[in-house]
Every structure is written in structure tokens, then in C-alpha cells.
Amino acid sequence: MQDIQSPLQAQVVQWLVDAEQAVAAGDVLVILEAMKMEHEIRAPHAGRLVQRFFHAGEMVAEGQLLARLTPLAESPSPWPAKPSAPPAQPQLATAAVLRGDVQKLQDRLAFTQDSQRPDAVAKRHALGMRMARENINHLCDTDSFVEYGALAVAAQSRRRSAEDLMRNTPADGMVTGIGCVHGQRVVVLAYDFTVLAGTQGMRNHQKTDRMLALAVQHRLPVVLFAEGGGGRPGDVDVAIVAGLNLSTFAAFARLNGQVPVVGVVAGRCFAGNAALLGCCDVIIATQGSNIGMGGPAMVEGGGLGVFQPEQIGPSEVQHRNGVIDILVDNEAQAVLAARHYLSIFQAPPQNLQAPPALALRDLVPENRLRVYDTRLAMQGLVDTGSLLALRTGFGVGIHTALATIGGHAVGMMANNPLHLGGAIDADAADKAARFMQLCNAHGLPLVSLVDTPGFMVGPDTEAQAQVRHVSRMFIAAAHLRVPFLSVVLRKGYGLGAMAMTAGGFHQTLSTVAWPTAEFGGMGLEGAVRLGYRKELQAVPEGAEREALFERLLAQQYENGSAFNMAATLEIDAVIDPAETRHWLLAGLQAGKVKAVSGVLPIDAW
């Protein structure tokens, strides 16, 4: 005989076994209810219910006797009773038939899958473009993406049926969630252009706000696939007039300087979608993209003319003016570029390879007037395959890129002698200053390769507010918390060279030079013409004056050589170009990134 006791204080709801009825082990004897929850009391073994002590509706206290159960075949045994076995652990069992609630969920989730919209997929693929989820699957490590808000639909139930909304507005036109890129978690937001032209609906604004809060709270990088047409006027379920009290744009902007934020665009990106895109650290776009703060309808509505979407903010314009940081051919390349960008901020890659160091010795021509490509120096110093050039169409007087050197993530900039002889104009200064902010915010040491005659000068240059633009480099450098390493490849003249060395040759962790380097307070030719004007004018014009000029120039060149600069301790060392990577690695290992309180903002421009 075994007593069946109540495990809690509860009310008897229903007996499922009558007195004297045989039961099998695990059969439900009685159902109790406590705090609106039902508890099944089961038979511990096969037997017969011989007595019930409470009726339905009565209260029972914890430990009170509910019933007695006797074994079906009870016989006396001459052997001592064996100790009872420990209670069995609960076991999960797979049902033979899918439960109704699980089937309902799977049916509902099916509406979110691209396979349920073959026409939309076919139309998208016919344009040579991908679905939003195809881009996400390519971006994220296999099976790592977890979607948030998949069951959302457009807030249009007052004008459309539930079936219509589920079929035609899945996820309210925006796929959001968290996935892994190179094994580290990343928030992903992807507007779906096949749903209401990728417009910003009220519910996808709510989804965006939810994900942005998680990104800030958990310090997760964010990738935004921004294709779409901006605000959506057709969401009638929400009582709004203008919708200008949304928090999405402010929340997205607050990511600035806190976590890496990548924007990716293929196709058309206008209005609100473009406003979010413009807040990103880096913008990756395809050749076929169009980006603008107003699409054709907004332009026409403002009385500014009638234009096709392809006429507004085409990629060649937006790349040249600096809006687009990385221009690629298609979405596949855009996703790979996004993965590359994120990898800079993640764990160092394995199996790093260094380029051949000896090739650097012959990079700078022996003829000091001959141009060369400083991007080859960048490639020759960083880990093979790690260099990611940014803003290549804008401010071409200075190259900027992210890379790794011996696994250390760095930002790298270099003057471009192929443009204005390496002189720094307003666009190049803006580009360099913003790049320093980007590296500073995310804790990336800076490596600067110097070959500049200084800042660009002249009436036309000053008409472009050169004074303000170039000074941005000094201000950005003055607030750096990251190590700054400079290598003078050839020309290191005047204020431009100082701007390329964090404001001065001794403001860096190290400033070294190659043997080809030459220095001066200004360009040597100009220094001779100004400093020796009287001497030159005293000599008859022609070959004699030119010969004097060349002698004076040679003296200035010798005086401003890298060796004299090192001898007077104005630079730290003259190094063999082949030893540059070793020198940089030593600096990266010695330099420390200072902690920061608060946020270090990055200019949108």
C-alpha cells in the first residue's frame, strides 16, 4: 500500500481515476490547481486506487493524503525490502504527431521565408540583386543569425486583410537580428526592398529601436543594409500626424563612436534610409546604387524638377564627393567588404603573412623628382590581404586604409605624390581628420607615411576655406588617445609634414625616416628662391643664375637630409626601408591605447 500525498497547497479540480480502478505507472490520478496553474498527480507505479480522501472543489494542504494505491500483484516476500531507488529524472519525449501550436507557428513563420514569395525573388534576381536574407546569410557565419521581430507585419490592418499583410509585408519590410561575423556577435538590420520598396514602417522603426538598444547595451557592432525609399505614409493603424517624434534617428546616431557601424547599399537609398546610412562609420555601396536625401517624388514635390531615380546621387558622384567609402561591383563584394571591415575590430587573424620586406628599398625612386605610388608602401608594410582602403574617390591627396600589422589592427594614411605632388588640399585634410577620429574612437593605432611638400597654397586654394579645413588635422591629432607612428618616405616639409605627424615630429610615439627623406620648413626650391633672392638677382639671368640656384639647392638638400635630421635629434632614427615593419611592430607593442570616459564622436563628414 502506498500513500499519495499532495506536493503543494491546492484545490482538487478533477479525479481521473475511480476507486478500485487499476492504473499503470505514470497515469494521471488527479489534477490540482494552484495560482491558476494545473498540476498533474501521477501514479508512481502500477496498481489499484483503493481510496480517495478529497472531492473535486475541496482544498488540500501540502503533504495531506490524497489517495492510497496498492500494487496489482502484492505478495509477501521472505527477503528484506530493498531500499527504494532514487526518483527518476524527467525525460523529454518526441511526439509522433506535431502539436497544433507548433504547427501553427511553423505555418506562420513560413510567410517570412523567401520561398513563399517566388515572384518577388524572381524579380529581384532578374535585376542581378539579392534578397535581404541572402545578404544576411552571406554576411553571418553559417546558422548563426537569430532573427528578432520576424512575425511583424505592416501597421495597415484597417485597410488590408491579415492574410494580405502576412503574405505581402513579412517582417514589416525589415529583417533584424543578431548573428556572428568571424565568430563574434553583430547586430544586423536589413531593409527588404521587395516589401513596400524597403520603406520605413512604424513597426520596423520599433524593431530598429529594439536592436539599437541591444547594440549599445552589449557593445555590439552594427551592419545596416540601407536600401529603401524612406518614410512610409500608408501605416494607418497608428494614430500619428507627421511621425517626427520617432526615436530611431537619434538612437542610431548615438552609436557613433561607441561601436563600429557599417552601412551597405545596393539599389536606391533615399530619405530616412539615407539619413541612417549617413550616420555610419563607413559606407559600402555598389556601382548601381543611388543615394540621396530625397527621392524623385520628394524632389518633384518640392518643385525642383522631374528626375529618374538613377539621376539622383549615382555612385560615381557619391564616391567622388566622399559619401561612399568603399565602392564595389555588386552585393556579394559589398558583403565581403563589410566582413573585412569588421574583421579589423575583431580577434587577429591566423596564419599571418608578411610581404617581402626587401622590395621596400627600391620603392622611392633615386631621382628625387620622380613620382611613385605610396599605396605600394602601405601594401608592403601590412599583413598580406589585410589592407582595406577607405574613401578612395575623395581627397585623393591622402590615402587612408585599415589593416593589420603582425595581427595588430591599425589605421594607415599616406600622402599621394601622384596628386599635387603630395600637397594637402582641403579635401585631403578633411579625409585625414575624419579618419583620425574614426581610429581614435575605436582604439586603432595610427601609422602615417609622409611624403608632402606641405599644405596646398594659392588664391584658388584659399577660396576653399583651406585655413579651416587643414586645421582639422591638428585638432584631431591633439585629441588622440592612440599611439601614432610616422615614417617619412621622402618629402617632409613645413606644416603639412607636421600635420602628418600628429602636429609635430615629437608628438608621435616615433618619427623615423628612410634614407631618401628630405626636410625643411618649406619646399627647398621655394626656400632658396625666397631666402637667397638678393644673391640670385645679383647674378645675370640665365645659365649663371641657374647654376647658382642649383648649388644653393644642393646645399639645402644636404642640410635637410634625413641623416642631419637624425643627428640633430629632430627625428628619432633613419632606418633601412626593409626594417620598417619591424620598427612599427616594436612601436605597436610598446604603445598603449588610453582609456576614455564618455564617447569620442566621429564626424559624419
Please check whether residues 318 and 373 belong to one and the same domain: no
Compute the distance between CA of residue 452 and CA of residue 200 in angstroms, rounded to an integer: 46
Please check whether residues 535 and 567 belong to one and the same domain: no
User: Which pLDDT belongs to residue 90?
Assistant: 66
Q: Do 311 and 300 meet the contact criterion of CB atoms below 8 Å apart?
A: no
120: burial class by Cβ within 10 Å (0-12, 13-18, 19+)?
middle
Please check whether residues 148 and 287 belong to one and the same domain: yes
Q: Report if residue 92 sits inside a domain.
A: no
Q: Which residue has the cell 479540480?
A: 13
Q: Report if residue 492 sits inside a domain.
A: yes
Domain CATH for 256:
3.90.226.10
SS3 (DSSP) at 362:
helix
Domain CATH for 15:
2.40.50.100
Q: Report if residue 551 sits inside a domain.
A: yes
Q: Report if residue 76 sits inside a domain.
A: no
Please check whether residues 510 and 552 belong to one and the same domain: no
Please check whether residues 281 and 308 belong to one and the same domain: yes
- Enter the DSSP assignment of 7: S
Taking the chain (605 residues) in consecutive chunks of 10 residues, what is each chunk's mean pLDDT?
A: 91 91 91 94 91 92 92 54 52 76 92 93 96 98 96 92 93 97 97 95 94 97 96 82 86 96 97 97 97 90 90 96 98 98 85 92 94 98 97 98 96 97 97 98 98 95 96 97 98 96 97 96 76 84 85 82 95 98 96 91 93
Q: Report if residue 364 sits inside a domain.
A: yes
231: burial class by Cβ within 10 Å (0-12, 13-18, 19+)?
buried
Q: Report if residue 333 sits inside a domain.
A: yes
> Where among 344, 369, 393 does a domain terminate?
344
Q: Report if residue 265 sits inside a domain.
A: yes
Cell of 177: 537580428
C-alpha closest to that of 565 among 509, 499, 488, 501: 488
Please check whether residues 221 and 196 belong to one and the same domain: yes
**pTM, whole model, 2 decimals?**
0.88
Please check whether residues 336 and 370 belong to one and the same domain: no
Compute the distance between CA of residue 15 and CA of residue 8 in angstroms, rounded to an integer: 17
> Where among 344, 374, 391 does a domain terminate?
344
Please check whether residues 531 and 471 belong to one and the same domain: no
Compute the distance between CA of residue 38 and CA of residue 16 in angstroms, rounded to an integer: 14
Helices 543-559 and 524-531: crossing angle in degrees, nearest 10, is 120
Please check whether residues 496 and 553 belong to one and the same domain: no
Neighbour order of strands in the sheet with 2-5: 2-5, 65-70, 47-52, 22-23
Compute the distance between CA of residue 152 and CA of residue 169 in angstroms, rounded to an integer: 8
Q: Going by C-beta distance under 8 Å and a sequence separation of 6 or more, which residues neighbour residue 182?
A: 141, 339, 342, 343, 346, 347
Please check whether residues 479 and 332 belong to one and the same domain: no
Please check whether residues 379 and 302 belong to one and the same domain: no
Compute the distance between CA of residue 488 and CA of residue 490 in angstroms, rounded to an integer: 6
User: Which pLDDT belongs to residue 379?
Assistant: 98
Helices 466-478 and 426-441: crossing angle in degrees, nearest 10, is 20
Compute the distance between CA of residue 41 and CA of residue 219 in angstroms, rounded to an integer: 47
C-alpha closest to that of 10 among 60, 58, 64: 60
Please check whether residues 113 and 186 belong to one and the same domain: yes
Q: Do 50 and 68 meet the contact criterion of CB atoms below 8 Å apart?
A: yes
- Residue 225 lies in domain: 102-344
Q: Going by C-beta distance under 8 Å and a sequence separation of 6 or more, which residues neighbour residue 429?
A: 395, 398, 455, 466, 469, 470, 472, 473, 499
Compute the distance between CA of residue 56 and CA of residue 6 in angstroms, rounded to an integer: 14
User: Which pLDDT belongs to residue 81?
Assistant: 44
Q: Report if residue 314 sits inside a domain.
A: yes
User: Which pLDDT belongs to residue 559?
Assistant: 81
Number of domains in the chain: 4
